[in-house]
Chain A
Amino acid sequence: KAGVTQTPRYLIKTRGQQVTLSCSPISGHRSVSWYQQTPGQGLQFLFEYFSETQRNKGNFPGRFSGRQFSNSRSEMNVSTLELGDSALYLCASSPRTGGMNTEAFFGQGTRLTVV
């Protein structure tokens, strides 16, 4: 069974630009979550999608947005990039949201560098 796939793995962007990151969850998983990891800050929750609907949102500015498609693939977009947006962006998928405790499976992440 293929794991969670994130593309691209590495990205360099300039301040003010916008970026789109992609995540393909494990087949059959309908829940996709996005996290930002910066040095010393752990994994900070961005948002979660289930069946194309945003179910939860973390404390990030509106420049961070996402969506989920009918095949469960998800994208996140960051507009007007700032230097502080440089981070590892991780996507995680799980079989479902609600009703059952399950672990989330992570992709390898996209390393975004804003210069």
Chain B
Amino acid sequence: DQQVKQNSPSLSVQEGRISILNCDYTNSMFDYFLWYKKYPAEGPTFLISISSIKDKNEDGRFTVFLNKSAKHLSLHIVPSQPGDSAVYFCAAKGRDSGNTPLVFGKGTRLSVIA
């Protein structure tokens, strides 16, 4: 039973355009969400996070949107750059009182074409 789903295995975007990566979750106990970026042969690198008390968090070119009623979040990258080409993982965490671990989606491979 996959609690965090990234339904698009891959995405191609032209340089300079917006990249939108989507993530859905099923567990209503999740209240903290993160995006990680992973290059081949490296560990995932933290990108941006959002708490369930917010619906938007922005950091430079990266913005994460959270729609709790739809159990959906998205990562927007604008403008997209060739160096953004990587696999992006969405992750979710339950309320800390339960000491729950991060649960990851299967990832979306983003290719930014120059």
Beta-carbon contact of A108 and B42 below 8 Å: yes
Beta-carbon contact of B97 and A108 below 8 Å: no
Contacts of A64 in B (CB 8 A): none
Size class of the A contact interface (CB-based, 8 Å): 20 to 34
Q: How far is the CA of A16 from the CA of B43 in the complex (A)?
A: 27
Q: How far is the CA of A58 from the CA of B102 in the complex (A)?
A: 11
How many A-B pairs have beta carbons closer than 8 Å: the answer is: 66
Beta-carbon contact of A106 and B106 below 8 Å: no
Beta-carbon contact of B96 and A99 below 8 Å: yes
Q: How far is the CA of A56 from the CA of B63 in the complex (A)?
A: 31
Size class of the B contact interface (CB-based, 8 Å): 20 to 34
Contacts of A40 in B (CB 8 A): 9, 106
Beta-carbon contact of B102 and A41 below 8 Å: no
With known contacts A33-B102, A40-B106, A41-B106, A98–B89 Cβ distance under 8 A = no
Additional A-B contact list (5), CB under 8 Å, known A58-B101, A98-B96, A111-B41: A43-B89, A48-B99, A92-B102, A103-B34, A106-B36
